A = this chain, B = another copy of it.
C-alpha cells in the first residue's frame, strides 16, 4: 500500500518524529532509521519494519527491493526535513519495531563482546559498533549512561552495523559477574600504566572488553570487577587516544579467533 502525505501536521508525521526520541521509543516500542544505507541493511537483515517513508524519487529508485508487505508513505520535502537528523537528508526513512525477544543474555553470549560504560558521544558509540562488526565481534552491550542504540546520531554513525551484530541494553555489573561465573575473560580499559599491556593478552574465543567515558574513563566499581585491565602504551606528551580508536586497537588485537 502506498499513501501520500503532504502536511507536516499529519498525525503519522508527528508520531514518526516522536520515534526519534527516548519517550517515543518507550511509548511505541519502535524507532526511526534514516538513509538508504541503513534502511537497505535493515531490509536485507529482515528486521520488522512497519513503515517505509520517502520522497517520490527515493521510493521509486529503491522500489524493486522494498518489501511488499510494508506500507509505504510518499512524503514532501518539508516532512523529510522535519524527520531528518542531517543537514542534507537523502529522503528515505523506515520505522523499525523494537523486539526484545531476540536479546542475547550474558549467560549464553559467545564470541567477542564490547561493553560500553557511560560512553557519551553518539559518534564514538556508532564508530565502536561499526568497528566491533568489522572485527568479528558478536555484539555490543549498552550500559547505563551510554546513549541509546535508537538515538538518531548513534544510528547514523553505526552505518548499518546494528543489523549485522547484536545490540543489547544491559547492566554491565551483571554481564561482568555472569562472564566471570563462566570463567570467561572480561577486560577493562584503563589509562594508567599499572594496568596490563594490551599486547601481552592471549586472545580467546569468548571474552568481553569494556570501554569507558571519554573524559572520566571507566566507572571505578566496574574497573574493580574485571579479570584484568588493559593499557595501550602511548607516548609521554600525548594525553590519550580517542575512545573509538582505543577500542579499535584493542578489538583488533584480541579478535584472532573471531573472524570468519
Contact = CB atoms under 8 A, between A and B. Distances in A.
Contact of A131 (B131, B136, B159, B241): B241
Contact of A239 (B135, B159, B258, B259): B159
Contacts of A161: 238
A238 B127 contact: no
Given A241-B248, A245-B245, A235 B133 contact: yes
Interface string A22-56: 00000000000000000000000000000000000
Nearest to A164: B237
What is the copy number of this chain in the assembly?
A: 2
Interface string A230-260: 0011111111111011111100100000111
A135 B232 CA distance: 9
A130 B235 contact: no
Nearest to A132: B238
B133 A237 contact: yes
Contacts of A66: none
Contacts of A123: 123
Given A259-B235, A260-B236, A245 B133 contact: no
A42 to B, nearest CB: 13
A133 B234 CA distance: 8
A164 B239 CA distance: 11
B131 A242 contact: yes
Contacts of A248: 241-242, 245-246, 248-249
A104 interface: no
Interface of A: 123, 127, 130-131, 133-136, 159-161, 164, 232-242, 244-249, 252, 258-260
Given A134-B238, A245-B245, 12 more contacts: A123-B123, A131-B245, A133-B235, A133-B237, A134-B232, A136-B235, A161-B238, A164-B238, A235-B258, A235-B259, A242-B248, A245-B248
